[in-house]
Amino acid sequence: MNYSNTIKTSFISIPENESLARVICASFISQLDPTIEELTDVKTAVSEAVTNSIVHGYSSKGNGMIFMDCTIENECFTVEIKDNGKGIEDIEKAMEPMYTSCPEAERSGMGFTVMETFMDSVKVNSVVGVGTKVTMKKVIKSKLL
């Protein structure tokens, strides 16, 4: 069955909007009839990506916008989280488990590891001073409604 759908949304970079992003993705992906586990995986990965934008991209100042695009192509769900924050100097280092650029904020350094654990693919593009884009994909094995 060929099926596609897309939504685009944006919100200010405050912690309260992390839960909004989770709900938006959960509502959108529900048309694929995911299992509870698949739904939880996506919500967890989205939470980590949005939190990274808030904490690292904008230093928790609430002074920026986060852009979230969700797409369904057949059974593949893609979510793109983008910010215009400070960017990541060394993506490879940032993606290492337990690495955090904010140890004073008691961050665990597991955000990218969590994203990679729960999604089928995670790609990170970043330019210092321009921002970061995280693109994650998950194949939903349940059938379309």
Calpha distance 51→61 (Å, rounded): 12
Strand order in the sheet with 65-73: 4-12, 65-73, 76-83, 131-139, 121-127
The catalytic position among 75, 84, 107, 116 is: 107
Is 75 a residue of the active site?
Answer: no
Is 80 a residue of the active site?
Answer: no
Calpha distance 134→107 (Å, rounded): 19
Is 125 a residue of the active site?
Answer: no
The catalytic position among 17, 18, 38, 48 is: 48
Burial class of 71 by CB neighbour count within 10 A (0 to 12, 13 to 18, 19+): middle
The catalytic position among 17, 18, 22, 52 is: 52
Structure tokens at 109: 């350094």
Catalytic center residues: 48, 52, 107
